[in-house]
Structure 1
Amino acid sequence: MVVEDEWIVSLEIEAALEEGGHDCVGVAATASEALALAGSACPQLVLMDIRLKGNDDGVEVAKELRNRFGLRCLFISAHADLATRQRAASAEPLGWLQKPFSALQLLQTIAALKSELGQD
């Protein structure tokens, strides 16, 4: 599942996932869309941007996804400074991939997370 408010970026991520053999259960641009999609699609992994549409905050959404569904996120954001990482630590992220990143970097990061996702 991809949570990204920039339409073009979300399309690029979705295409990279599918080309890498992964299913993308959907894309959400807001907190409410992300929570609804997670509840209905049961994703194994959430790729989460920090800044979302409106006043929505990816860190808070990641915490809610963790609390409600036991989902952990891979943060994909240009905002990866120390203060942001410290603020996001309570969401127990699987990791960070700083924008801009290539499709190959995304797929390599996901491959490295397979054991944490129970896909050994």
Structure 2
Amino acid sequence: MNKKTRILIVEDDMIIAANISLQLTKAGYEVTGIESRGEEAVIHSRLNPPDIILMDINLKGRLNGIESVKRIQEVIDIPVIYITANNDEATFEEAKHTHPFAFIAKPITMSNVLRSLALAEEQFKTREESVPVEENYIALLNDRIFIRHHGQMVKLLLQDILYIEADRNYCHVMTSKKEYVLTTTLKEMQNKLPEEIFVRVHRSFLVNISKLDVVAEAHVEINRKAIPLSKSNREGLLKHLQTI
């Protein structure tokens, strides 16, 4: 079964937002939520990152849509599709700096929304495929693992790993300088790596606790990346931190 693409809708007209949500759900998408203010969209994106954001540019409140996207992009890169009633050149030029995947003009038609999402998914898929996927990795050896990279086995020191994120049957191993994609599950990675260093904080994330910058109620941060912290994993994380 294919994983559903997860969409966050940011729109201050709740009738429009509810209709988009209903139609996207019928079309097979998963809607992570509806937010009406930019500040709330920033928090949502950091704690429960969607695959794509549908963002109205003309939001009420302190942050408009473009400013909200800039805040989101400070810590996490999520494809954005703007919804706008503004056709002026200044707005378009400002929005371009956030590298949106598409623009949808109001009044909205669902055919335009679905086409834009399909194009964004295709671009996102192409971008993901451009990251080299390593076929496998070798078992833990003291303070390092070895992974296959460009046909050679290269070492990756455990201390250089920031966190590991699950993505279907792959794992994204993140360091401060490079990303590696391995064809393995997060559970298999967790079983191989030392549990006193790498701790599960969410069904999709394993973190190097020595790299934690912030531990909040529902998320942690590493190198300005907000990572969700589930209730079921919070107690275990705190216990590990007490032993450091």
TM-score (structure 1 length as normaliser): 0.91
Q: Partner of 2:120 in structure 1?
A: 113
Q: Partner of 1:37 in structure 2?
A: 44
Deviation string, structure 1 residues 46-84 (Cα, Å, up to 9, x no partner): 000011122421111111212221113100111132211
Deviation string, structure 1 residues 70-107 (Cα, Å, up to 9, x no partner): 11310011113221110111111111010112112211
Find 1:82's aligned residue among 89, 106, 113: 89
Aligned residues: 120
Matched, 1:65 2:81: no
> How does 1:8-23 map onto structure 2 within 5 Å?
8-23=15-30
Find 1:104's aligned residue among 111, 121, 143: 111
Q: Which amino acid aligns with 2:111?
A: L
Q: Which amino acid aligns with 1:93?
A: P
Q: Partner of 1:91 in structure 2?
A: 98
Q: Which amino acid aligns with 1:116?
A: Q
RMSD, aligned α-carbons: 1.6
Q: Partner of 2:242 in structure 1?
A: none
User: Would the aligned equivalents of 1:66 and 1:72 in 2 still touch at CA under 8 Å?
Assistant: no
Which residues of structure 2 form unaligned runs of 5+?
Answer: 1-7, 130-244
User: Would the aligned equivalents of 2:11 and 2:35 in 1 still touch at CA under 8 Å?
Assistant: yes
TM-score (structure 2 length as normaliser): 0.47
Query: Secondary structure at 2:125's aligned position in 1?
Result: coil
| More helix as a share of residues | 1
Q: Partner of 2:10 in structure 1?
A: 3
User: Would the aligned equivalents of 1:76 and 1:99 in 2 still touch at CA under 8 Å?
Assistant: yes
User: Would the aligned equivalents of 1:76 and 1:96 in 2 still touch at CA under 8 Å?
Assistant: yes
| More strand as a share of residues | 2
Query: Secondary structure at 2:32's aligned position in 1?
Result: coil
Q: Which amino acid aligns with 1:99?
A: K
Stretches of 4+ aligned residues off by more than 4 angstroms: none
- Over the matched positions of the two proteins, sequence identity in percent amounts to 27
User: Would the aligned equivalents of 2:46 and 2:76 in 1 still touch at CA under 8 Å?
Assistant: yes
Structure-2 separation of matches of 1:41 and 1:2? 13
Structure-2 separation of matches of 1:91 and 1:100? 23
